[in-house]
Structure 1
Amino acid sequence: MDKLTHSVSPYHILFFILLLLGGNTFASSEKREACADHQADRQAFFGDLHVHTRYSLDASTQGTRTTPAQAYLFARGQRIGIQPWDEEGEPGRTLQLRRPLDFAMVSDHAELIGEVNMCTNPQVAGYRSWQCRVYRAWPRGAFYLFNYMASMRASHLGMCGDEGERCLAAALAPWEEMQQASEDYYDRSADCSFTTFTGYEWTASEPGSGGNLHRNVVFRNAQVPTLPASYIDTPGETLLWDSLEKECNDAASGCEALVIPHNSNLSAGYMFSGLQADGTPIDADYAARRRRMEPLAEIMQHKGASECFFAPGITRDELCAFEQLALDNIAGFNNLPQPDTGFLRETWLEGIALQQELDINPFQFGVIGSTDTHLGAPGAVAEDDFPGHGGAGVPALKSVPPGLTDKLEYNPGGLAVLWAEENTRDALFAAMQRREAYGTSGPRIVTRLFAGWELDADLCAAPDQASRAYAAGVPMGGELGAAPEGAVLRLLVSAQRDSGTPDHPGMPLQKLQVIKGWIDDEGTLHQRVVDVAGDPEARGAVDTTTCETSGEGHAQLCAVWEDPAFNAQQSAFYYSRVVENPACRWSQRQCVAAGVDCTNKQTIGRGYEGCCAAEHRPVIQERAWTSPIWYQPASADNTSSAKSRAASAATRLL
């Protein structure tokens, strides 16, 4: 009994009892049939929480006609038409998933859904305004005009009235349509085959730097505010939280919301700056609110990966170069990315340093991936069938431009994965809140991470692996308190390859890694990458002239890894990264299909110049990233400012 008391917290004892009883670890907030498939040890559900349809300004001005209902039908496996459209309303292209998703959320921009409805619906007041005439006659010009006013100036245009009242009124119908679609396509039967969430995107940019501050808002159930809180109404993240707390979380109406920042790689350092809106340092109250309201961040989507920074000669983790954009901001200003411009690994390091000062970590968030599709096509992540995602990418309003289907720097995006007992809103939302979530760059890799003091070395071969790991440790997204005297930290890390389909099997896995970040006794921040399973020396290969792959890999990988450098007095975090064998990137696949030979200029057709550009990355290694697990000693050293120590100390990659 003494051993159990020292190695397992009361939370784990309660959780283990719930597992034995078959009980839920989430509260039910709405009526529905019980799921036939309920697993106490939890299961991985794949989805997309970042989807734009016809009601997003950038999507609509590029010809997207997909409705919220059609987006959910697509996620469930139905084929949809995408732009360009002919005079009879027939699509020039179609798109269909090879496998349905488990969950999805339409997340249209809150700022301009009223304006889009006003300018596309003759029955709405304001349709004949000069602004709407510009919208219809010059869509791309309207995109820049409307978007600049909304996301940079936090302002409606003149046709909305002095207080924006006409555009707010025009936003009611689209918002109700989004809610209705979410209700219509949520499977409330015992099959629990598909879950929808109602939500939206709050779209802000830092005016001086062009830094991206965008966030997606996810509601737990059908109880939502009358209108979404936009950046125009709430010009600052704390004002957004205020609105969500007043109108939702604290309103005793059954409404509950959380917020997911995205594209921090393009935030110019402002997404996780360590400062409040007025320029003062983060305080404990702000840190607590941020941790409560923003439990997750988007690590991957079609505008790049936000895991970590890479530059030759500066950092040694070459896998950080994966889908790294050449700029640090969403406005396109010519600023190169740096380690402190919004990458999550560096932010997690800053978080454990701030915790020593504030006694709370404002950046203790987990991760998901998503697409940010502007075609209304959730989960369209296939490298071999990528039509571009629109938005900031290549538009196809009137015709498909020749050549590559999107800008070279963009990619098909990622997926969100949630570990939950069942596929319901309550179970999935609870998984997001506790951060038992991970992101992939597109493949449906299944991966788990646990940490604890008494994880058995034989867990990889154990048939009851998950239940034993839950009983003796914490899963991804969890926290470990002070270590028992003489304890050794162990991590259970496992992964299974994407099973794929008969016609398109998934890629073998190359290796499984643990990434550790910690702060030493001198206040210096460190990070270390460790290969814990797989054989990185026996790599698979890809022939970029044909995109044929060869070599061996792994169907599954597992390790119980013991940290040899664990120090019970040092704050740390751990997350895992699963890496597939190399394959051709979407752009190289299209270059090969077009017969491009960079040694022969005559083969480089119009629009395919990027195939031979120096910045072209013909090969990728798809991957998955787990949410971290954090270790915090019993007492932190508060004798000096963690902020100043972090600013003066070099981050070391061992």
Structure 2
Amino acid sequence: MLKRILFALLVLTLLFAASVGLYAARGVEDPTLDPPFEDSKPSRPSSLAVVPPVPTKRALFGDLHVHTSYSVDAFIFGVRALPDDAYHFAKGGTIEHGAGYPIRLSRPLDFLAVTDHAEYLGSARAARPDVPTVRLNLGSALTDGGRLSYTRYWVESVAALTDHAFTSGAKGQQFLDQAQQTQVQLDAWRDTIAAAERANEPGRFTAFIGYEWSSHFIHRNVVYGSDAAPDYPFSALDSQRPQDLWLALEAQRAAGQPAIAIPHNMNESSGRMYPRWPIEGLAWTRDEAERRRRIEPVSEIYQVKGSSEAHPALSPDDPFADFEIVERLNGDATDLGREGSYARAGLRTGLELAMDEGWNPYVFGLIASSDSHNASATVEEDNHHGKLPVLDGTAGIRSGEALLLPTSATPGATWGGGGLAAVWAEENTRASIFAALERRETFATSGTRLQVRFFGGWAFAPQTLRSGDAVEVGYRDGVPMGGFLPARPDGATPQFLVWADKDPVGANLDRIQIVKGWVEADGISHEKIHDVAVAGERAIDAETGLHEPVGNTVDVEEATWTNTIGAAHLAAHWIDPDFSPDQDAFYYVRVLEIPTPRMSTYDAKALGRTAPEPTTIQERAATSAIWYDPRGASADPGP
């Protein structure tokens, strides 16, 4: 079916090209391609200082979802970089993009995991199949042949991916014979491990060993907490059932290979990422629920292919839920109303299951990452270089200027800028960061590096936030993000301490919100958004109960903004006004920045064209929740 659609697109393109004449034949003028990468001028990463341990923890930012040319789709779509390049980039070095230009982060990351697709790992790179990017490099395809030529290149590249076995686990056309493929996969996995070992610098930079398990639209990244890893990953070719992945990782953990799995792109799962029943018609068992909680302590909610935090159809009273919603993924319309496709709805389903069954499989924290396939963490709106070079690797491709196709047919037009995983850890080491992931002391950002603290307890003093020891008090008298409130004293009501600081080189803050979810006696869950701290004096909207917008300083034509609105720091001591001691509940924090130009607006400025809507973005962070369980069943399952 897909190949027929692609053929029809190509025919329509040829007919359209005949009508536009010289426009179709003219080369693509794309400023992204200039200057070209010069291998003769290698760029070393900036020197990373050793950061001493901090008992009260520090915020560390990284990316746990990056692909290289060992992934089949990355290679076919023009990536040639290897795991060593990915770590070089994360440390602040310059590498070559698949389109031939240099890319570099404005600031290095603290940690990274290379997570190539385990299915046919390294096979496309080793076989070098007859695909467009092997015959002609992407940069030349853009500049030498014109829009018609590049459109054919684009369509043939997409078709080439469908011709070969890939991440669904289906056994399609093979690149190599079985013996060759087995050896290539082993060699690529060994190099992945070796690259992480070479890059890992305790105290300076953490490199995790990892891979992606890519079953049909219910993908997980697997990350190892030490240098101990299996001889070869458990992939979707072994099983497409997540239950089997959990069992495999549980066995590895028992063998001294600490591992977790991180779901991502829940928004494209058609409700299968957080289902009420793990297998249709069969309820969760306690063992399965505890195994999922143990193996999958966090979920990735922001990345290039959209947000999986919430959806306006599921959260109609949340005016900020309509954020980086991707309406079409993998060529298919998403099933927008499915509760199992978004993290907030999944947390609510967990409360309902806890009440009905007595156990909750959906106790998970929040992170974000990029899903970049360029061996790079593409998270900066003003320094964006896409996910897959052929599909969105330049401003011209993303905007459709390089193509003779409708914008709706090109995924780069709707993909976003990616996100970052943030953890509160004592030190920058594998053990410390992995422990933070396991205890869910994490938050997700849409690419910004704002910092947010969140503690829950029963007796915080309002003046704590002004005392200078709020962190110590939060840990001593409460629990941090990711935890369960301790046993409730008689007559007590939950209290929360929350504060946030802007990204040092980013936008000011608009507001801090607490998102509450709870379940009533009838077993139905609900949610409510509370503004707990806002910048400036603003009226409250009578319809939403939230404060009016902060304003907007963005000059769309120039792709600029100013920090003349908003605040550098916001804080609140908040007591739940609607608490019921008999109701399961969760609370998580969302921090919003003031509006800034979206990646597509920076692209439009570079190309000298009108920016498409939306022209602005409110970057944000969302923390892991703090849970309240009236039954006191707060203990996490053991190892």
Q: Shorter-chain-normalised TM-score: which range?
A: 0.7 to 0.9
Give the 5 Å matches for 1:388-427: 388-390=386-388, 393-394=391-392, 402=401, 407-427=412-432
Are residues 1:497 and 2:511 paired? no
RMSD over aligned Cα atoms: 2.5
Q: 2:114 corresponds to which residue?
A: 106
Give the 5 Å matches for 1:470-481: 470-481=475-486
Provide Cα deviations, 1:200-229, integer angstroms capped at 9, x if missing partner. Answer: 000111xxxxxx201000001111000111
Distance of aligned partners of 1:140 and 1:331 in 2 relative to their CA distance in 1, 3 Å threshold = closer
In the aligned structure 1, how far is the partner of 2:463 from the partner of 2:51? 31
Q: 1:562 corresponds to which residue?
A: 575
| Cα pair 1:114 1:169 within 8 Å, conserved | no
Q: 1:141 corresponds to which residue?
A: 159
Provide Cα deviations, 1:282-336, integer angstroms capped at 9, x if missing partner. Answer: 2222111111110000010000011111149x70212100001113xx4322344
| Cα pair 1:393 1:410 within 8 Å, conserved | no
Secondary structure of the equivalent of 2:108? Answer: coil
Q: 1:508 corresponds to which residue?
A: 508
The aligned amino acid for 2:186 is L
Give the 5 Å matches for 1:70-469: 70-84=85-99, 91=100, 93-120=101-128, 139-146=157-164, 149-155=165-171, 157-158=173-174, 164-188=178-202, 192-205=203-216, 212-246=217-251, 248-251=252-255, 254-277=256-279, 279-311=281-313, 315-327=316-328, 330-378=329-377, 380-390=378-388, 393-394=391-392, 402=401, 407-469=412-474
In the aligned structure 2, how far is the partner of 1:142 from the partner of 1:347? 36
Distance of aligned partners of 1:623 and 1:395 in 2 relative to their CA distance in 1, 3 Å threshold = closer
Distance of aligned partners of 1:579 and 1:276 in 2 relative to their CA distance in 1, 3 Å threshold = same
TM-score, normalised on structure 2? 0.81
Are residues 1:552 and 2:570 paired? no
**Which is further off, 616-625 or 269-278?**
269-278
Provide Cα deviations, 1:598-645, integer angstroms capped at 9, x if missing partner. Answer: xxxxxxxxxxxxx44xxx311110000000011000279xxxxxxxxx
| Cα pair 2:457 2:486 within 8 Å, conserved | no
Q: 1:4 corresponds to which residue?
A: none
In the aligned structure 1, how far is the partner of 2:389 from the partner of 2:278? 29
In the aligned structure 2, how far is the partner of 1:588 from the partner of 1:133? 32
Are residues 1:589 and 2:588 paired? no
What is the CA distance between 1:406 and its match in structure 2?
Answer: 6.9
In the aligned structure 2, how far is the partner of 1:586 from the partner of 1:630? 35
What is the CA distance between 1:158 and its match in structure 2?
Answer: 4.7
The aligned amino acid for 1:98 is S
Q: 1:607 corresponds to which residue?
A: none
Distance of aligned partners of 1:596 and 1:68 in 2 relative to their CA distance in 1, 3 Å threshold = same
The aligned amino acid for 2:167 is S
Contiguous gaps of at least 5 residues in structure 1: 1-34, 85-90, 121-130, 206-211, 501-505, 598-610, 637-654
TM-score, normalised on structure 1? 0.79
In the aligned structure 2, how far is the partner of 1:236 from the partner of 1:311? 28
| Cα pair 1:371 1:414 within 8 Å, conserved | yes
Distance of aligned partners of 1:392 and 1:430 in 2 relative to their CA distance in 1, 3 Å threshold = farther
In the aligned structure 1, how far is the partner of 2:580 from the partner of 2:289? 26
| Cα pair 2:72 2:125 within 8 Å, conserved | no
| Cα pair 1:183 1:222 within 8 Å, conserved | yes
The aligned amino acid for 1:249 is R
| Cα pair 1:489 1:562 within 8 Å, conserved | yes
Provide Cα deviations, 1:497-550, integer angstroms capped at 9, x if missing partner. Answer: 0002xxxxx100010100000012232311000100113544343232333324
Aligned residues: 545
| Cα pair 1:305 1:322 within 8 Å, conserved | yes
What is the CA distance between 1:448 and its match in structure 2?
Answer: 0.9
Secondary structure of the equivalent of 1:242? Answer: helix
What is the CA distance between 1:360 and its match in structure 2?
Answer: 1.7
Seq. identity, %: 36
| Cα pair 1:50 1:106 within 8 Å, conserved | yes
The aligned amino acid for 1:185 is A
Q: 1:65 corresponds to which residue?
A: 80
Contiguous gaps of at least 5 residues in structure 2: 1-49, 136-155, 404-409, 536-546, 634-639
What is the CA distance between 1:143 and its match in structure 2?
Answer: 1.5
In the aligned structure 2, how far is the partner of 1:377 from the partner of 1:61? 17
In the aligned structure 1, how far is the partner of 2:471 from the partner of 2:402? 48
In the aligned structure 2, how far is the partner of 1:41 from the partner of 1:103? 19
What is the CA distance between 1:462 and its match in structure 2?
Answer: 1.9
In the aligned structure 2, how far is the partner of 1:544 from the partner of 1:406? 23
Secondary structure of the equivalent of 1:458? Answer: helix
Counterpart among 614, 626, 629 of residue 629 in structure 1 = 626
What is the CA distance between 1:487 and its match in structure 2?
Answer: 0.6
What is the CA distance between 1:337 and its match in structure 2?
Answer: 1.0
Q: 1:209 corresponds to which residue?
A: none
| Cα pair 1:48 1:416 within 8 Å, conserved | yes
Are residues 1:577 and 2:578 paired? no
Distance of aligned partners of 1:480 and 1:143 in 2 relative to their CA distance in 1, 3 Å threshold = same
| Cα pair 1:117 1:171 within 8 Å, conserved | no
Secondary structure of the equivalent of 2:605? Answer: helix
Secondary structure of the equivalent of 1:182? Answer: helix
In the aligned structure 2, how far is the partner of 1:61 from the partner of 1:383? 25
| Cα pair 1:287 1:361 within 8 Å, conserved | yes
Are residues 1:41 and 2:56 paired? yes
